[in-house]
Structure 1
């Protein structure tokens, strides 16, 4: 294989991009029930992961769960509002239809 200079690559600037996901950590003082702490210790030892990583993962999962519940609640609210709005539109059409029928004695 020819050296890079012989391939004409030397006229280009070669850039190497590395993408690093940077996590900033926040300190937190946490009080756990004794039973929860003991269960957490057992699981983290069995899985061979740090307690901090385990708690982070658990909170991330719990946050996703609760976000879905909040979205579900919002969707149900909007469906109900849409249903009420649809009923109002239907009543308006009926009123218009009745007025038309009355005007032309239908």
Structure 2
């Protein structure tokens, strides 16, 4: 495990402490789970961006192929 120093806004700290009391969970475990969850969300956002970019590239290629097929139909 790595040790880090963390500065929290007072409001966030108070809210977290209230939640920890009701959940009876160690602060360290709670923060680890929160960061893990946030990392997963960020990975999904990165993947979403990559998929969108790939989808746009494929769409352009598909439009070109469609135009070629349409032009073949015009010859008949």
Pick the TM interval, shorter chain. 0.7 to 0.9
Given the alignment, which residue of 22, 41, 46 partners 1:65?
Answer: 41
User: Mapping of 1:1-106 within 5 angstroms?
Assistant: 25-95=1-71, 97=72, 101=75, 106=76
Deviations, residues 40-82 of structure 1 (Å, cap 9, x unaligned): 1111111111111000001111111111121112111111111
Distance in 2 (alpha carbons) for counterparts of 1:88 and 1:29: 55
Higher helix share: 2
Superposition deviation, residue 92 in structure 1 = 3.0
Task: Please give the TM-score of this superposition, normalised by the length of structure 2.
Answer: 0.85
Larger radius of gyration: 1
Task: Please give the TM-score of this superposition, normalised by the length of structure 1.
Answer: 0.63
Deviations, residues 8-58 of structure 1 (Å, cap 9, x unaligned): xxxxxxxxxxxxxxxxx1111111100001111111111111111000001
RMSD value, Cα: 1.7
Segments of 5+ residues of structure 2 without an aligned counterpart are none
Counting matched residue pairs gives: 76
Distance in 2 (alpha carbons) for counterparts of 1:39 and 1:77: 39
Which structure has more relative contact order (CA 8 Å, sep 6+)? It is 2
SS in 2 for 1:57: helix
